[in-house]
Amino acid sequence: MQSEHSKKEIQDTKNKLIEARDAFEKHRQYLAKKEKKTLITLKTNLPGTPKNTWYSEVLLSIFHKLISETFTIHTISKHQSFAGDSYFYTVEAAPEKAKKQCMIFEHEHHLGRFIDLDVHYRKDRYNREDYQYPPRRCFVCDDFAHICTRDERHSKEALRGFIENRTVEYLLEALSNNVAIALEREVYLYPKFGLVSHKDSGAHKDMNIKHFLASIHALKPWFKTFLEVGCHLEKRKNTLRGFGIAAEKAMFEATNKINTHKGAIFIFGAFLPFFMDGIMKQKSLDEVISSCAQFVREVTKDDFIDLEQKTSLTAGEIIYQKYGLKGIREEVSQGFPSIMSWYNKQSYSNYQKLCAIMMRLDDTTIIKRHNLTTLKNVQKDMSVLLKNKPFDTAMYEKLSEDYKAKGISPGGSADIYALVCFLDLTKHLLKNKQTID
């Protein structure tokens, strides 16, 4: 039997939900009257309370991005509510067309069942029945949702657990795809100095785009593994080095022992778990990068000790011994300064993004093929190039040809550029109140 206290809590919750839903409807009516345009509302279809969870925020972020990219938006507003946060859009589209597109999102997107997209125009509401769309289905058993609700077939806890699990499954698949897309965008960018592209092998005689595409394909399951670690980060982060070694092995098997993505494996192997953790805990990008940097500082702190006792040194160890540079380890452990000093503060083209990284990164792959003086000259060239307003495309192309002829290949910068491409695709999933906006 429920106590009087618990009964009061239940009634208070019901009253708050009623008040919040009334406020939502009043705001909708206000916008419909004021704007006199097609109005789309986006909210999550989440049973029980609380209505605002990490996965409801992710659902809103995913579909907010889709709507923003699909429609010509007149106004956007976010409504924070005890009944669940929501978005209001007035759009430049006929209401019939807007409703049809929204139903496509609801029915065809993997997570579409978990959101509600309603379309109004002034006093009219556009319903799915008007377009011969069937009633919505239950999340769990696929019967009609209104029947399951009426008969109380599933507990609210079971429904919410189902939604959370499906959201995690979607993120693991989508984000691993996004890493592959980011690496492909890097290799297909052309021209880009002595780096491999779909046009040529740049300054490299031992590899071409086929090696890169084979490597990306082989690494994709490992990107998903890195993300899975992030779902239980504190328990599993000590497994990351082992997974990174296994990913390198998969790369070498796919490329016949050619190193195409060793740096990218380190970057994404370190970053992806903290990115996934950041989504599930709704952290900002700054917070994600800070946590990642702290972790890498800890696990790599002994990587360059006692070098004088070793009989043979790696290229990275030789460079550290000679110049004191730790390469990609230092870049990640310092919080990606070659990105975060400009990211979201400058409206850069893809070429400028690469140049901005090259200007700031102590790219040890350049030193490995040449020397420190060459690296410093490259950084100066990039500084001059980025100061030109507008961007001097001809100078960029000339430098690309010059570097290719001299065998200068900024491989470390290319790996960091791929991370930028990944962030461009996915940063909307993090807490949106970021200090880098």
Structure tokens belonging to residue 403:
């570097």
Q: For CA atoms 399, 404, 410, 414, give the dihedral sign.
A: positive
Tell which wins on pLDDT, 134 or 209.
209
DSSP secondary-structure letter at 115?
A: E
Helix (H) or strand (E) holding 231: helix 209-231
Per-residue pLDDT at 3 = 67
Instruction: Tell me the C-alpha to C-alpha distance, in Å, between residue 96 and each of 92, 99, 122.
Output: 12, 5, 13
Backbone angles phi, psi at 343, to 5 degrees: -65, 130
Per-residue pLDDT at 5 = 61
Give per-residue pLDDT as tens, 409-431. 999 999 999 999 999 999 999 99
Per-residue pLDDT at 435 = 34
- When pLDDT is cut at 50, 70 and 90, the band that residue 2 belongs to is low
Q: Could you tell me which CATH number the domain at 14-154 has?
A: 3.30.70
Tell which wins on pLDDT, 417 or 146.
417
Cβ atoms of 189 and 197 closer than 8 Å: yes
Q: CA-to-CA distance for 322 and 420, rounded, in angstroms?
A: 30
Structure tokens belonging to residue 153:
């077939």
Q: Which of the following CATH numbers is that of domain 169-336+345-429: 1.10.4200, 1.10.3470, 2.170.130, 1.10.10?
A: 1.10.4200
Give per-residue pLDDT as tens, 92-123. 999 999 999 999 999 999 999 999 999 999 88
Give per-residue pLDDT as tens, 191-214. 999 999 999 999 999 999 999 999
Structure tokens belonging to residue 404:
């290719």
What residue spans define the domains of the chain?
Answer: 14-154, 169-336+345-429
What is the SS3 assignment for 88? Answer: strand
Q: CA-to-CA distance for 194 and 397, rounded, in angstroms?
A: 11
Tell which wins on pLDDT, 133 or 27.
27
